[in-house]
Chain A
Amino acid sequence: MKPFLDLFSQNDFSLIAVVLLMPLLGAFVNGVFGRRLGKQAVRMMALSAVGVSFAAAIATFVALNSAIDATHAAHGEAAHSKLAWLAWEWMRVSGPNGSKIAIDLRFSVDALSGVMMLVVTGVGFLIHVYASEYMIADKGYWRFFCYLNLFIFSMLVLILGDSLPVLFVGWEGVGLCSYLLIGFWYGKLPNAAAGKKAFIANRIGDFGLIVAMFLLVVYCGALDWDGIQRHANDLVATSDRPGPINLWPIGGGKFEDYVIAGIRVPLHNLQPDKPWTITAATAVGLMLFLGATGKSAQIPLYVWLPDAMAGPTPVSALIHAATMVTAGIYLICRLSFVFVLSPAAMIVVAFTGAATALLAATIAVVQNDIKKVLAYSTVSQLGFMVLGVGVGAFTAGFFHVFTHAFFKACLFLGAGSVIHAMHARIHDEARSQDMRNMGGMKKYMPLTYGTFLASTLCIIGFPGTSGFFSKDEILARVLIETPTGVKLANAAAPWQWPSWAPWVLWMMGVAAATLTAFYMMRLVFQTFWGDFRGWTIGRPSQVAKSEHESDHGHAEDEDAEDGDHEHHDDLSQPGPPPHESPRPMTIPLLILAAAAIVAGIFNPAAIKLVVSTFSFLPLEHWLDPVFKDAARGITMAEHHTAHTRELISTFGAFTAFAAGSGLAYWVYVKEKGKPAREMMLKVPRLYRLALEKWRVDEAYDKTVVAGVDALADTAASVDQGIIDFILARLTALIVAATGTILRVFQNGVVHVYAAVMVVGVLALGWFFVQPHADFTVVEQNGDYTLQAGPGPGYEFRWYPDATKDPQTKDFSVADNLKVHVADGKSQTVKLEVKNAFGRVGSKAFTITRPATPTSAAGAVQIREQ
C-alpha cells in the first residue's frame, strides 16, 4: 500500500476526494437514473459507493498514521499533523482591521476526524448492506438510497471540512438528509410532521452556529481550525479590541425613566443597572453549544429526535443514533480549545448533558414502543457524551461517540429485525413495534437475540464491554477533571466552578446509568424472554403459509404510494410465527455486535485502577495531540485523589449497572411484570406524565409554537389588511380610474391624432423660436459664477449690475460671468440672450450674500459644526 500512498503529498491529499465524492456519485446516479435502473442496480451502486469510500477511508487512515509517526520521529513527541486537500478557493471576505479572511473549500483529516471518518463510512456501509435488504419491498428504493448516499456525503463534508463554513455546509446537508429520510413515507402525516419538526429544531441550533461564526470572525479573524486555534486567546483578552461582550437582558442599553404628564414611569427597573459582561469565549462557546443541542438532541431541543423514529429503521440506526447526532459532540471536541477558555460555558454544557441523560432515561423507562425506548436511550447516551466533553474529558466523550456508534447501531438494527419479523405477523405498524405484543423472540430469532443482548450489555456497562470502558470513563472523569480556564496575562481570571458541581453531575450521571441498565434490560426481557404474546393477536398461522416466509414482509412500513404488496395475501389474517431475518440483515448485526464488544480495547482506562502502570490507551494517545491545546484549561485532581475518586466512580457505575439490571430482572422475569403494574396503579398520574414524555412537547406547543403562530396570524392580517387591500387594491383602483379618463382621448380617428401632432409641432417650433435666458449660479467665497444655458445660435450680453451699462456693448458668445459680492451685500445681475432669429430675451437675478459672523467664537462654532 505504501507505493500507492506515496502518490499523495500531505498537503494535497486528493485521496480524500475519493472518500468524499463516491457517496455523492452514488446519490447522483441513484437519484437521477435510479427509477429506471431497477432495484439490483440501485443496490449495487449504493453499496459500492459507500464501500469504495470506506476502502479509501482506510487507506487515508493508514497514510495519516504514517504521517503522524513521521512527525513523532522528527519532533520526539506526538505532534498534531493532518492530511489536507484543497478542492477550490471558495471566497475571500474582509475581516476586522481590513484583513482578508480566506474561506476555502478545504478538507483535512487529522486524528479526530480520521476516527470519525472510519466510523461513518464503516458503520454506514454495514447499515447500507442491512438497508438494502430491509427496504427491498419498498417502491421508493432508489429514492431511499439516493438520500442515504447523500447523507454519507454530507456527513463526510461535516467531518472533513477544514473550517467552520465547510463544516456548516455538511451540517446543513445532514440536516436536509435527516429531514428527507424521516419524512421518507411522506404520505403519512405524522412522518411528514416529524421531519418538519426535526428540521425546525435544527434551524434554531444553526442560528447559534452562525452567530458563533460571526463572533469568531470578529474576534479571531479566522474560521479555519488552525486559524481559530492560533487566535483563540483573543477571545478572552481584555487589552485588545473589541473586548468583552456586554449583554442587556432586554437589549438597547440602560433605560431612562419616562415622564408623562408629571407621572414617572419607572422604566429603569426593567433593566439591571449594569449589563452582564461575558467574555467572547463564553459567547462563542454557548452559541456553538446551541448548535450542538440542536444536532445532538440536548435539552431544550431534544424533542425532535424521538419523533424522528418515524423514518425507516436503518435511518434511525445510521443518522439518529450512530453518526449525525454525534456531530454536536464532534464540534465541541473540534473546537475544544475555545471551550476550555470559558469554564462558564463548560458548566452549561456539562449540566445540560447530565440533565438530558437523566430526563431521557426517565422517559425511556415507561415507553412501550421498542423504537421509542431506543430513541430516548440515544438522547440519554448523547447526554452522557455531552457531560463528558463538558467536564473537559474530550477523549472520554469522543470514545463514547465511537463505542456508541457500534452498539446503538446494532440495537436499532436488531430492533428493526424484530419489527420486521413482527410486522410479517401483525401487519400493523404501531402494534408490531409494541413490546407488549412481543416476548420469547429469542426462540425464533437467535441471531438477532444474541447481537441485541451483546449490545445491550455494552450500553448498560457490563464489565469488559466497550460501554463499560467508555461510559464509566466519563463518570470517572467527571470527578477527576474540572475545567479551570486559562490564565492569561492580558485577561481577567476565568470564573471557577463551584466545588459541589462535579459531585452533583456525577450523581446525575450515576442515576441516569442506573435507569439505563433498568430500561435496557426491561427491553430485552420484554422482547426476547418469556412467551410470545403475539399469539393473542390472532390464530397461529397455518403450516401452508410458512412457505411464503422467504418473501414475507420486508418493509415494516409500506410506502404510502405502495398499493399492492406481494406479501399481503390477506391483511386480516395474521401471518406466520416470527422468523429470523435474511442474511444481509444478520451479518451487519454480527459485525456490529462484535465491534461493540471489543471496541473497549481502544481505551481500557478502567484497567488503570488495578494496574497503575498500565498505559495501553491507544485512543487517548492517538487523540492526545488534538486535545493538547485544550488540556491547558483542564485541571486534573492530583494523582492520589484521582485514584481514589476513580475507584469510587467505578464502584458507583458498577452498582448502577448491577442495581438497574437486577431490578429489571426481578420485576420482569421473576415477577413477570407484576411490580410494574402495581406501580402503575399506585401512581397513575406520575406514570401518565412520564409516558407522555413529561408533556414537554405540549409545553412547547403552548409557549413557543403558540407564540410563533400568533405572530404569523398578526402578519397574515397585516398582509390582508394593509398590503393586499391598501397597497395592492387601492393602487390598482387609482390606475384603473386614470385609465378610464385617458381612454376618452383615445378616439381612434387618425385625423384627430394628426391635428394634435400639428399643434405639438407648432408649440415646439414656438419654443425654439423664443429665446430662453437662463443661468445657474455657483458660489465660492463671495465669487459668483453665472453659467448661461445653451441654445441654438445663442449670443449673450451680461449686465453685472442691472442698473448700469452692460459688460460689453454687443452680444458675444461668452456664456458665463464672474462677479464678486461683498459680505452682507446684494447685487442684481441681468442677462440678455439673442437667438438665431434675432429675438432677445432677458433674465434678472439678485444675488444676496449672507453676512459672515466675524467674532472668533462664531468662527470656532462654525468649525465645530
Chain B
Amino acid sequence: MIPVEHYVALSALLFTIGGVGFLVRRNVIVALMSIEVMLNAVNVALVAFNRLPTHNNAHTGQVFSFFIIAVAAASVAVGLAIVLSLFRIRRTVRSDEADLLKN
C-alpha cells in the first residue's frame, strides 16, 4: 500500500504547479485551468487523508471532494462566461490587458 505521504507530496506538487501557473501565465483560460489544478490537488489530499487508519472508514474526505468538483464546475462556468464577455469588450483573453478596474 502506498503510504499517505506520497499522496500528500503529489498534492503539494500539483498545488504548486497550479499556483505558479496562475501567477505567471497571462492567458485567462490557462489561469482558469491552473485554478482547476489547484482544486484537484486539494481533492487528492482530502481523499488521501481519508485513508488514514484513525479515520475509521468515514467517507468525509470523499464526500467533500465531490462537493469541490461540483463547485469547481460551477465556478468554471462563471469564469468562462466572464472570459467571453472580456473577449467581447477587449478582443483579447490576456489578463494583463483586462485592466477595466484600474484606479
Contacts and interface: CB of A to CB of B under 8 A. Distances in A.
Nearest to B97: A749
Contacts of B22: 754
Interface string B1-41: 00000000000000000010011001000010000000000
B89 interface: no
Interface stretch (A20-28, A558-566, A740-748): A740-748
Contact of B23 (A743, A744, A747, A751): A751
A748 B100 contact: yes
B88 interface: no
A749 B103 contact: no
A797 B95 CA distance: 52
A743 B102 CA distance: 8
A611 interface: no
A78 to B, nearest CB: 88
B12 to A, nearest CB: 14
Contacts of B98: 748, 750
Contacts of A748: 98-103
A743 B103 CA distance: 5
B70 to A, nearest CB: 24
Nearest to A742: B103
A747 B99 contact: yes
Nearest to B24: A751
Contacts of B102: 746-749
Nearest to A752: B96
Interface in A729-764: 743-744, 746-751, 754-755, 758
A632 B23 CA distance: 99
A255 to B, nearest CB: 63
A755 B24 CA distance: 10
A758 B38 CA distance: 13
A750 B19 contact: no
Given A743-B103, A746-B103, A748-B103, A758 B23 contact: yes
Nearest to A750: B95
A749 B96 contact: yes
A754 B19 CA distance: 10
B9 to A, nearest CB: 18
Interface in A747-791: 747-751, 754-755, 758
Contacts of B95: 749-751
Nearest to B99: A748
B101 A746 contact: yes
A323 B23 CA distance: 86
B103 to A, nearest CB: 5
Nearest to B95: A750
Contacts of A747: 99, 102-103
A147 to B, nearest CB: 59
B19 A758 contact: yes
Nearest to B26: A751
Interface residues of B, number: 13
Contacts of A758: 19, 23
A743 B22 CA distance: 25
B85 to A, nearest CB: 15
Interface in B79-100: 95-96, 98-100
Interface string B29-60: 00100000000000000000000000000000
Given A749-B95, A749-B96, A750-B95, A755 B23 contact: yes
A390 to B, nearest CB: 78
Nearest to B98: A750
A95 B103 CA distance: 61
A309 to B, nearest CB: 67
Contacts of A746: 101-103
Contacts of A744: 103
Interface in A619-667: none
Contacts of B19: 758
Given A758-B19, A758-B23, A751 B101 contact: no
A471 to B, nearest CB: 85
A747 B103 CA distance: 6
A748 B96 CA distance: 8
A95 B96 CA distance: 72
A755 B102 CA distance: 16
Nearest to B31: A750
A744 B102 CA distance: 9
Contacts of B96: 749-751
Contacts of B31: 750
Nearest to B96: A749
Nearest to B28: A750
A751 B31 CA distance: 10
A751 B97 CA distance: 11
A755 B103 CA distance: 18
A758 B24 CA distance: 13
A749 B95 CA distance: 7
Contacts of A751: 23, 26, 95-96
B13 to A, nearest CB: 17
Q: Which of A744, A748, A755 has the most CB of B within 10 A?
A: A748
B53 to A, nearest CB: 20
A743 B95 CA distance: 20
A120 B96 CA distance: 84
A751 B23 CA distance: 6
A395 to B, nearest CB: 84
A750 B22 CA distance: 10
A746 B23 CA distance: 18
A350 to B, nearest CB: 79
A747 B22 CA distance: 18
Contacts of B103: 743-744, 746-748
A756 to B, nearest CB: 11
A187 B22 CA distance: 73
A758 to B, nearest CB: 7
Q: Which of B22, B98, B103 has the most CB of A within 10 A?
A: B103
A749 B99 CA distance: 6
Nearest to A761: B19
A754 B24 CA distance: 10
Nearest to A744: B103
A793 to B, nearest CB: 16
Contact of A754 (B23, B99, B101): B23
Nearest to B100: A748
A554 B99 CA distance: 76
Contacts of B26: 751
Nearest to B102: A748
A758 B23 CA distance: 9
A754 B20 CA distance: 11
A754 B101 CA distance: 15
A194 B23 CA distance: 77
Contacts of A754: 22-23
A836 to B, nearest CB: 15
A758 B19 CA distance: 9
A747 B97 CA distance: 11
Nearest to B103: A743
A750 B102 CA distance: 10
B97 to A, nearest CB: 9
B92 to A, nearest CB: 13
Contacts of B99: 747-749
A109 B12 CA distance: 91
A317 B19 CA distance: 90
A748 B90 CA distance: 14
A366 B17 CA distance: 106
A288 B98 CA distance: 76
Given A746-B102, A748-B98, A751-B23, 10 more contacts: A744-B103, A746-B101, A747-B102, A748-B101, A748-B102, A749-B96, A749-B99, A750-B98, A758-B19, A758-B23
| List of 7 A-B pairs having minimum Cβ-Cβ separation, nearest first | A748-B102, A748-B99, A748-B101, A750-B95, A743-B103, A749-B96, A746-B103
18 contacts: A746-B101, A746-B102, A747-B99, A747-B102, A747-B103, A748-B100, A748-B101, A749-B95, A749-B99, A749-B102, A750-B31, A750-B95, A751-B23, A751-B26, A751-B95, A754-B22, A755-B23, A758-B19
Interface of B: 19, 22-23, 26, 31, 95-96, 98-103
Interface of A: 743-744, 746-751, 754-755, 758
